[in-house]
Amino acid sequence: MSQGSNSSGLRRYNERVMLTHLRKYRTASKSDLARATNLTPQAVTRIVDDLEQSGLVVREGRRLGGLGQPSTLYAINPAGAYSIGIKIGRRDLELLLLDFSGKVMTQFRREFDQPDPDYILSQIDELLPELRAQLDKSARKRLRGVGVAMPWFLGAWPSELEMASELSERWRNINLSEEVAERVDLPVYFENDGAAAAIAELQLGVGRDISDFLYVNIGAFIGGGLILHGNLEPGVHGNAAELASMPVPHSERFGHKATKLGFDMLTQRASLLTLRRYLNQNGIKISHIGELPEHIDEARGYIQEWMDDCADALVFAFLSVISVLDLKAIVIDANLPRFIIDELVAMVERRLASVAAKDIFVPSVLPGQLGPDAIAVGGGILPFYSSFGADKTVLLKGSVPERRII
Protein backbone atom coordinates (compact mmCIF):
# COMPACT_ATOMS: atom_id res chain seq x y z
CA MET A 1 0.00 0.00 0.00
CA SER A 2 1.38 3.43 -0.88
CA GLN A 3 1.83 6.12 1.74
CA GLY A 4 -0.59 8.34 -0.17
CA SER A 5 -3.29 5.67 -0.16
CA ASN A 6 -2.83 5.11 3.56
CA SER A 7 -2.97 8.84 4.29
CA SER A 8 -6.09 9.24 2.15
CA GLY A 9 -7.78 6.34 3.93
CA LEU A 10 -6.92 7.77 7.33
CA ARG A 11 -8.34 11.15 6.36
CA ARG A 12 -11.61 9.60 5.15
CA TYR A 13 -11.84 7.49 8.30
CA ASN A 14 -11.37 10.57 10.52
CA GLU A 15 -14.09 12.40 8.58
CA ARG A 16 -16.43 9.45 9.21
CA VAL A 17 -15.52 9.42 12.92
CA MET A 18 -16.31 13.14 13.10
CA LEU A 19 -19.73 12.67 11.49
CA THR A 20 -20.46 9.71 13.77
CA HIS A 21 -19.72 11.79 16.85
CA LEU A 22 -21.87 14.65 15.58
CA ARG A 23 -24.77 12.20 15.16
CA LYS A 24 -24.18 10.97 18.69
CA TYR A 25 -23.92 14.37 20.38
CA ARG A 26 -26.36 16.25 18.08
CA THR A 27 -24.21 19.37 18.48
CA ALA A 28 -20.55 19.72 19.41
CA SER A 29 -17.75 22.25 19.26
CA LYS A 30 -14.39 21.57 17.67
CA SER A 31 -12.83 21.19 21.11
CA ASP A 32 -15.58 18.68 22.06
CA LEU A 33 -14.74 16.67 18.95
CA ALA A 34 -11.01 16.83 19.60
CA ARG A 35 -11.52 15.39 23.09
CA ALA A 36 -13.91 12.69 21.85
CA THR A 37 -11.71 11.54 18.96
CA ASN A 38 -8.21 12.09 20.43
CA LEU A 39 -7.29 14.09 17.35
CA THR A 40 -5.34 17.32 17.55
CA PRO A 41 -7.32 20.58 17.51
CA GLN A 42 -5.59 21.48 14.24
CA ALA A 43 -6.70 18.21 12.58
CA VAL A 44 -10.27 18.60 13.84
CA THR A 45 -10.41 22.17 12.55
CA ARG A 46 -9.29 21.10 9.06
CA ILE A 47 -11.77 18.20 8.93
CA VAL A 48 -14.76 20.14 10.29
CA ASP A 49 -14.07 23.08 7.98
CA ASP A 50 -13.96 20.70 4.99
CA LEU A 51 -17.19 19.00 6.07
CA GLU A 52 -18.84 22.40 6.44
CA GLN A 53 -17.57 23.44 3.02
CA SER A 54 -19.02 20.27 1.48
CA GLY A 55 -22.40 20.95 3.13
CA LEU A 56 -22.44 17.89 5.40
CA VAL A 57 -22.29 19.88 8.65
CA VAL A 58 -23.63 23.29 9.62
CA ARG A 59 -23.09 25.77 12.43
CA GLU A 60 -25.71 25.55 15.16
CA GLY A 61 -25.11 28.64 17.25
CA ARG A 62 -22.59 29.25 20.00
CA ARG A 63 -22.08 27.94 23.53
CA LEU A 64 -21.66 30.63 26.16
CA GLY A 65 -20.05 30.27 29.57
CA GLY A 66 -16.64 29.46 30.94
CA LEU A 67 -13.41 31.22 30.12
CA GLY A 68 -12.43 32.51 26.72
CA GLN A 69 -14.47 33.07 23.59
CA PRO A 70 -17.86 31.37 23.07
CA SER A 71 -17.56 28.04 21.23
CA THR A 72 -19.13 27.59 17.81
CA LEU A 73 -21.33 24.49 17.73
CA TYR A 74 -21.66 22.20 14.73
CA ALA A 75 -24.31 19.67 13.75
CA ILE A 76 -25.20 17.28 10.93
CA ASN A 77 -26.77 19.26 8.08
CA PRO A 78 -30.15 17.62 7.32
CA ALA A 79 -29.96 18.93 3.74
CA GLY A 80 -26.40 17.68 3.24
CA ALA A 81 -27.55 14.37 1.76
CA TYR A 82 -30.68 12.33 1.19
CA SER A 83 -31.50 8.68 0.68
CA ILE A 84 -34.43 6.41 -0.12
CA GLY A 85 -35.20 3.42 2.07
CA ILE A 86 -37.23 0.39 1.02
CA LYS A 87 -38.49 -2.28 3.36
CA ILE A 88 -39.70 -5.46 1.67
CA GLY A 89 -41.45 -7.60 4.25
CA ARG A 90 -43.47 -10.77 4.36
CA ARG A 91 -46.64 -8.79 5.04
CA ASP A 92 -45.85 -5.20 4.00
CA LEU A 93 -43.84 -2.84 1.84
CA GLU A 94 -42.54 0.57 2.92
CA LEU A 95 -40.72 3.28 1.02
CA LEU A 96 -39.44 6.48 2.60
CA LEU A 97 -37.31 9.51 1.94
CA LEU A 98 -34.68 10.25 4.60
CA ASP A 99 -32.64 13.39 5.15
CA PHE A 100 -29.05 13.29 6.43
CA SER A 101 -30.12 13.75 10.05
CA GLY A 102 -32.25 10.59 9.83
CA LYS A 103 -35.60 12.39 9.72
CA VAL A 104 -38.33 10.75 7.63
CA MET A 105 -39.55 13.33 5.13
CA THR A 106 -42.13 11.26 3.23
CA GLN A 107 -43.32 7.69 3.70
CA PHE A 108 -45.53 5.22 1.87
CA ARG A 109 -46.77 1.87 3.22
CA ARG A 110 -48.57 -1.00 1.54
CA GLU A 111 -49.89 -4.09 3.35
CA PHE A 112 -50.74 -7.46 1.83
CA ASP A 113 -51.50 -11.06 2.74
CA GLN A 114 -48.81 -12.53 0.50
CA PRO A 115 -45.54 -10.93 -0.74
CA ASP A 116 -46.08 -11.13 -4.49
CA PRO A 117 -42.86 -9.94 -6.20
CA ASP A 118 -44.70 -8.54 -9.23
CA TYR A 119 -46.92 -6.41 -7.00
CA ILE A 120 -43.96 -5.26 -4.91
CA LEU A 121 -41.96 -4.22 -7.96
CA SER A 122 -44.96 -2.44 -9.48
CA GLN A 123 -45.35 -0.42 -6.27
CA ILE A 124 -41.64 0.44 -6.28
CA ASP A 125 -42.04 1.60 -9.90
CA GLU A 126 -44.94 3.84 -8.85
CA LEU A 127 -43.62 5.22 -5.58
CA LEU A 128 -39.93 5.86 -6.26
CA PRO A 129 -40.67 8.80 -8.61
CA GLU A 130 -43.08 10.24 -6.04
CA LEU A 131 -40.36 10.18 -3.40
CA ARG A 132 -37.81 11.83 -5.67
CA ALA A 133 -40.35 14.47 -6.62
CA GLN A 134 -40.34 15.66 -2.99
CA LEU A 135 -36.86 17.13 -3.60
CA ASP A 136 -36.05 20.09 -5.81
CA LYS A 137 -33.52 19.72 -8.61
CA SER A 138 -30.59 20.81 -6.47
CA ALA A 139 -31.47 18.47 -3.61
CA ARG A 140 -31.87 15.49 -5.96
CA LYS A 141 -28.17 15.79 -6.76
CA ARG A 142 -27.50 14.97 -3.10
CA LEU A 143 -29.38 11.66 -3.17
CA ARG A 144 -26.74 9.16 -2.02
CA GLY A 145 -28.57 5.99 -3.00
CA VAL A 146 -31.38 3.54 -2.33
CA GLY A 147 -31.17 1.09 0.57
CA VAL A 148 -33.25 -2.08 0.51
CA ALA A 149 -33.90 -4.03 3.72
CA MET A 150 -35.52 -7.44 3.35
CA PRO A 151 -35.28 -11.03 4.62
CA TRP A 152 -32.53 -12.92 2.80
CA PHE A 153 -34.82 -15.93 2.31
CA LEU A 154 -38.21 -14.35 1.71
CA GLY A 155 -39.51 -17.39 -0.16
CA ALA A 156 -38.52 -19.75 2.64
CA TRP A 157 -40.87 -21.01 5.37
CA PRO A 158 -43.84 -21.32 2.97
CA SER A 159 -45.83 -23.51 5.39
CA GLU A 160 -45.38 -20.99 8.21
CA LEU A 161 -46.60 -18.17 5.97
CA GLU A 162 -49.30 -20.25 4.29
CA MET A 163 -47.54 -19.28 1.07
CA ALA A 164 -48.38 -21.10 -2.15
CA SER A 165 -45.52 -23.22 -3.46
CA GLU A 166 -45.68 -21.33 -6.77
CA LEU A 167 -45.09 -18.00 -4.99
CA SER A 168 -42.27 -19.46 -2.91
CA GLU A 169 -40.63 -20.75 -6.09
CA ARG A 170 -40.85 -17.32 -7.74
CA TRP A 171 -38.99 -15.79 -4.82
CA ARG A 172 -36.28 -18.42 -5.08
CA ASN A 173 -35.80 -17.67 -8.77
CA ILE A 174 -35.99 -13.85 -8.82
CA ASN A 175 -32.88 -11.66 -8.50
CA LEU A 176 -34.46 -8.76 -6.67
CA SER A 177 -31.24 -6.78 -6.42
CA GLU A 178 -31.00 -6.63 -10.21
CA GLU A 179 -34.70 -5.84 -10.54
CA VAL A 180 -34.45 -2.84 -8.19
CA ALA A 181 -31.14 -1.64 -9.64
CA GLU A 182 -32.72 -1.48 -13.11
CA ARG A 183 -35.31 0.96 -11.77
CA VAL A 184 -32.98 3.67 -10.41
CA ASP A 185 -29.92 5.56 -11.59
CA LEU A 186 -28.44 5.53 -8.07
CA PRO A 187 -26.32 3.07 -6.09
CA VAL A 188 -28.52 0.37 -4.54
CA TYR A 189 -27.53 -1.18 -1.21
CA PHE A 190 -29.02 -4.41 0.13
CA GLU A 191 -29.02 -5.69 3.69
CA ASN A 192 -30.83 -8.28 5.75
CA ASP A 193 -33.87 -6.59 7.35
CA GLY A 194 -32.82 -7.29 10.94
CA ALA A 195 -29.28 -6.07 10.30
CA ALA A 196 -30.54 -2.90 8.60
CA ALA A 197 -32.77 -2.14 11.59
CA ALA A 198 -29.76 -2.73 13.86
CA ILE A 199 -27.80 -0.13 11.87
CA ALA A 200 -30.69 2.33 12.28
CA GLU A 201 -30.68 1.71 16.03
CA LEU A 202 -26.90 2.19 16.07
CA GLN A 203 -27.06 5.50 14.19
CA LEU A 204 -30.27 6.99 15.56
CA GLY A 205 -31.23 5.10 18.74
CA VAL A 206 -29.50 3.47 21.70
CA GLY A 207 -26.29 3.16 19.65
CA ARG A 208 -25.61 6.80 20.43
CA ASP A 209 -24.71 5.64 23.95
CA ILE A 210 -23.96 1.90 23.59
CA SER A 211 -21.43 0.37 21.18
CA ASP A 212 -22.01 -3.36 21.77
CA PHE A 213 -25.49 -4.83 21.65
CA LEU A 214 -27.72 -7.49 20.16
CA TYR A 215 -30.65 -5.96 18.32
CA VAL A 216 -33.88 -7.97 18.11
CA ASN A 217 -36.83 -7.05 15.89
CA ILE A 218 -40.09 -8.95 16.38
CA GLY A 219 -41.96 -8.82 13.09
CA ALA A 220 -43.93 -11.38 11.09
CA PHE A 221 -40.89 -13.49 11.99
CA ILE A 222 -38.15 -12.55 14.44
CA GLY A 223 -34.80 -11.23 13.25
CA GLY A 224 -31.92 -9.18 14.46
CA GLY A 225 -28.45 -7.77 14.05
CA LEU A 226 -25.21 -7.73 16.01
CA ILE A 227 -23.40 -4.49 16.83
CA LEU A 228 -19.82 -4.82 18.08
CA HIS A 229 -17.46 -1.91 18.76
CA GLY A 230 -19.84 0.51 17.11
CA ASN A 231 -20.16 -1.38 13.81
CA LEU A 232 -22.48 -3.97 12.36
CA GLU A 233 -20.96 -7.46 12.51
CA PRO A 234 -22.57 -9.22 9.53
CA GLY A 235 -20.88 -12.60 9.83
CA VAL A 236 -19.39 -14.67 7.00
CA HIS A 237 -22.65 -14.87 5.02
CA GLY A 238 -24.25 -11.61 6.18
CA ASN A 239 -26.61 -13.53 8.44
CA ALA A 240 -25.24 -12.94 11.96
CA ALA A 241 -27.92 -12.67 14.66
CA GLU A 242 -30.69 -13.89 12.36
CA LEU A 243 -32.55 -15.42 15.28
CA ALA A 244 -35.59 -17.07 13.68
CA SER A 245 -34.18 -20.60 13.63
CA MET A 246 -32.65 -20.55 17.12
CA PRO A 247 -33.87 -23.62 19.08
CA VAL A 248 -35.98 -23.04 22.19
CA PRO A 249 -38.06 -25.43 24.34
CA HIS A 250 -41.34 -26.62 22.87
CA SER A 251 -44.49 -24.72 23.86
CA GLU A 252 -47.73 -26.70 23.91
CA ARG A 253 -49.84 -23.60 23.36
CA PHE A 254 -47.76 -21.53 20.97
CA GLY A 255 -45.25 -23.93 19.48
CA HIS A 256 -46.05 -25.62 16.22
CA LYS A 257 -45.22 -29.26 15.62
CA ALA A 258 -41.93 -29.77 17.44
CA THR A 259 -38.84 -30.81 15.51
CA LYS A 260 -37.57 -34.38 15.66
CA LEU A 261 -35.34 -33.36 18.55
CA GLY A 262 -38.33 -31.94 20.42
CA PHE A 263 -37.69 -28.20 20.26
CA ASP A 264 -39.39 -25.21 18.64
CA MET A 265 -37.67 -22.53 16.62
CA LEU A 266 -37.71 -19.08 18.21
CA THR A 267 -39.89 -17.57 15.49
CA GLN A 268 -42.65 -20.07 16.32
CA ARG A 269 -42.99 -18.52 19.78
CA ALA A 270 -41.69 -14.97 19.41
CA SER A 271 -43.25 -13.51 16.27
CA LEU A 272 -46.19 -11.33 15.32
CA LEU A 273 -47.40 -14.06 12.97
CA THR A 274 -47.85 -16.32 16.01
CA LEU A 275 -49.61 -13.54 17.92
CA ARG A 276 -51.97 -12.78 15.02
CA ARG A 277 -52.86 -16.45 14.61
CA TYR A 278 -53.56 -16.79 18.33
CA LEU A 279 -55.86 -13.77 18.23
CA ASN A 280 -57.64 -15.18 15.17
CA GLN A 281 -58.14 -18.52 16.94
CA ASN A 282 -59.81 -16.68 19.80
CA GLY A 283 -62.27 -14.73 17.69
CA ILE A 284 -60.30 -11.51 17.13
CA LYS A 285 -60.14 -11.39 13.36
CA ILE A 286 -57.29 -9.22 12.15
CA SER A 287 -55.45 -9.79 8.89
CA HIS A 288 -52.44 -7.61 9.72
CA ILE A 289 -50.84 -6.69 13.04
CA GLY A 290 -51.32 -3.01 12.21
CA GLU A 291 -55.02 -3.52 12.98
CA LEU A 292 -54.24 -4.52 16.58
CA PRO A 293 -54.76 -1.06 18.19
CA GLU A 294 -58.41 -1.13 17.05
CA HIS A 295 -58.98 -4.33 19.07
CA ILE A 296 -56.63 -3.71 21.97
CA ASP A 297 -59.23 -3.89 24.75
CA GLU A 298 -60.74 -7.23 23.75
CA ALA A 299 -57.33 -8.62 22.80
CA ARG A 300 -55.47 -7.61 25.96
CA GLY A 301 -55.77 -10.94 27.77
CA TYR A 302 -54.64 -12.95 24.76
CA ILE A 303 -51.76 -10.55 24.14
CA GLN A 304 -50.67 -11.07 27.75
CA GLU A 305 -50.67 -14.85 27.28
CA TRP A 306 -48.56 -14.51 24.13
CA MET A 307 -46.18 -12.09 25.87
CA ASP A 308 -45.70 -14.53 28.74
CA ASP A 309 -44.73 -17.34 26.37
CA CYS A 310 -42.71 -15.02 24.12
CA ALA A 311 -40.70 -13.71 27.09
CA ASP A 312 -39.84 -17.25 28.21
CA ALA A 313 -38.63 -18.15 24.71
CA LEU A 314 -36.58 -14.95 24.43
CA VAL A 315 -34.94 -15.56 27.82
CA PHE A 316 -33.89 -19.04 26.72
CA ALA A 317 -32.46 -17.65 23.47
CA PHE A 318 -30.67 -14.80 25.24
CA LEU A 319 -29.07 -17.18 27.73
CA SER A 320 -27.52 -18.93 24.73
CA VAL A 321 -26.39 -15.63 23.21
CA ILE A 322 -24.73 -14.19 26.33
CA SER A 323 -22.88 -17.42 27.01
CA VAL A 324 -21.02 -16.75 23.74
CA LEU A 325 -21.07 -12.94 23.43
CA ASP A 326 -20.20 -10.43 26.16
CA LEU A 327 -22.62 -7.60 25.42
CA LYS A 328 -23.57 -4.32 27.03
CA ALA A 329 -27.24 -4.56 26.07
CA ILE A 330 -29.97 -6.42 24.26
CA VAL A 331 -32.38 -4.14 22.40
CA ILE A 332 -35.90 -5.35 21.59
CA ASP A 333 -38.25 -3.62 19.16
CA ALA A 334 -41.42 -4.60 17.32
CA ASN A 335 -44.32 -3.34 15.27
CA LEU A 336 -46.46 -3.13 18.42
CA PRO A 337 -47.85 -0.33 20.57
CA ARG A 338 -45.08 1.17 22.69
CA PHE A 339 -46.60 0.17 26.03
CA ILE A 340 -46.61 -3.50 24.97
CA ILE A 341 -42.94 -3.34 23.93
CA ASP A 342 -42.02 -1.71 27.25
CA GLU A 343 -43.88 -4.38 29.21
CA LEU A 344 -42.31 -7.21 27.21
CA VAL A 345 -38.84 -5.73 27.75
CA ALA A 346 -39.45 -5.50 31.50
CA MET A 347 -40.63 -9.13 31.62
CA VAL A 348 -37.57 -10.36 29.75
CA GLU A 349 -35.16 -8.32 31.87
CA ARG A 350 -36.62 -9.62 35.17
CA ARG A 351 -36.64 -13.24 34.05
CA LEU A 352 -33.18 -13.11 32.50
CA ALA A 353 -31.67 -11.65 35.66
CA SER A 354 -33.36 -14.30 37.82
CA VAL A 355 -32.11 -17.35 35.90
CA ALA A 356 -28.70 -16.33 34.51
CA ALA A 357 -25.68 -18.11 35.98
CA LYS A 358 -23.59 -16.16 38.46
CA ASP A 359 -20.49 -16.26 36.24
CA ILE A 360 -22.21 -14.47 33.33
CA PHE A 361 -22.47 -10.71 32.94
CA VAL A 362 -26.16 -10.04 32.24
CA PRO A 363 -26.67 -7.24 29.72
CA SER A 364 -29.31 -4.56 30.10
CA VAL A 365 -32.50 -5.25 28.17
CA LEU A 366 -33.77 -2.08 26.50
CA PRO A 367 -36.62 -1.09 24.18
CA GLY A 368 -35.64 0.05 20.70
CA GLN A 369 -36.27 3.66 19.82
CA LEU A 370 -37.55 3.43 16.24
CA GLY A 371 -40.53 1.09 16.56
CA PRO A 372 -42.46 0.11 13.40
CA ASP A 373 -40.22 2.27 11.18
CA ALA A 374 -36.95 0.58 12.22
CA ILE A 375 -36.46 -1.63 9.16
CA ALA A 376 -37.47 0.97 6.55
CA VAL A 377 -35.32 3.63 8.24
CA GLY A 378 -32.54 1.06 8.33
CA GLY A 379 -32.85 0.74 4.57
CA GLY A 380 -32.58 4.51 4.25
CA ILE A 381 -29.54 4.58 6.54
CA LEU A 382 -27.61 2.06 4.39
CA PRO A 383 -26.30 4.60 1.82
CA PHE A 384 -25.23 6.93 4.65
CA TYR A 385 -23.65 4.10 6.65
CA SER A 386 -21.71 2.90 3.62
CA SER A 387 -20.46 6.38 2.70
CA PHE A 388 -20.09 7.99 6.12
CA GLY A 389 -20.05 5.30 8.83
CA ALA A 390 -16.90 4.94 10.96
CA ASP A 391 -15.91 1.62 9.37
CA LYS A 392 -12.21 0.88 9.92
CA THR A 393 -11.98 -1.06 6.65
CA VAL A 394 -11.68 2.32 4.95
CA LEU A 395 -8.18 2.48 6.44
CA LEU A 396 -7.17 -0.58 4.43
CA LYS A 397 -8.36 0.56 1.02
CA GLY A 398 -7.72 3.34 -1.41
CA SER A 399 -11.45 3.44 -2.18
CA VAL A 400 -14.65 3.58 -0.17
CA PRO A 401 -15.67 0.10 1.06
CA GLU A 402 -18.82 -1.35 -0.44
CA ARG A 403 -21.72 -2.95 1.41
CA ARG A 404 -23.69 -5.16 -0.95
CA ILE A 405 -23.84 -2.35 -3.45
CA ILE A 406 -25.34 -2.83 -6.89
- pLDDT above 90: percentage of residues in the chain: 70
Confidence of residue 168 (pLDDT cuts 50, 70, 90): confident
- 303-311 average pLDDT score: 97
253 within 8 A of 76, measured Cβ to Cβ = no
Statement: residue 335 has pLDDT above 60 = yes
Confidence of residue 66 (pLDDT cuts 50, 70, 90): low
388 Cβ contact partners less than 8 Å away, ≥ 6 residues apart: 15, 16, 19, 20, 56
CATH architecture group of domain 206-369 = 2-Layer Sandwich (3.30)
The domain spans of the chain are 3-76, 80-198+375-396, 206-369
Please give the pLDDT value at position 158. Answer: 61
**pLDDT tens sequence across 134-166:** 999 999 999 999 999 999 877 776 666 667 888
Q: Calculate ∠ Cα 121-127-130, nearest 5°.
A: 155
Judged against a pLDDT cut of 90, whether residue 284 lies above it is answered with yes
State the average pLDDT over residues 29-50: 94
- Whether 80-198+375-396 shares its CATH topology with 206-369 is answered yes
CATH topology of domain 80-198+375-396: Nucleotidyltransferase; domain 5 (3.30.420)
Q: What is the mean pLDDT of residues 38-51?
A: 94
The rounded Cα 404 to chain-centroid distance in angstroms is 16
Mean pLDDT of 361-382: 96
State the Cα–Cα distance between residues 94 and 371, nearest whole angstrom. Answer: 14
Dihedral, 232, 236, 242, 245 alpha carbons, nearest 10: -160
Q: What 3-state class would DSSP assign to 401?
A: coil
Determine the average pLDDT of the residues in 224-244: 91
Predicted pLDDT at 371: 93
- Which residues sit opposite 216 in a β-bridge? 224, 332
pTM > 0.95: no
pLDDT in tens, 287-301: 888 899 999 999 999
Q: How confident is the model at residue 131 (pLDDT cuts 50, 70, 90)?
A: very high
Q: Which of 265, 279, 327 is nearest to 307 (CA)?
A: 279
pLDDT score, position 159 = 60
What was the pLDDT predicted at 247? 94
Predicted local distance difference test score (pLDDT) of residue 400 = 34
Averaged pLDDT for residues 355-381: 94
Inform me whether the pLDDT recorded for 286 exceeds 70. Answer: yes
Range 48-75 average pLDDT: 87
3 confidence band (pLDDT: 50, 70, 90): very low
Q: Given 3.10.450.30, 1.10.10.10, 1.25.40.20, 3.20.20.70, which CATH number is that of 3-76?
A: 1.10.10.10
Q: How confident is the model at residue 398 (pLDDT cuts 50, 70, 90)?
A: very low
Q: What is the mean pLDDT of the chain?
A: 89
- Predicted confidence band of residue 355 (pLDDT cuts 50, 70, 90): very high
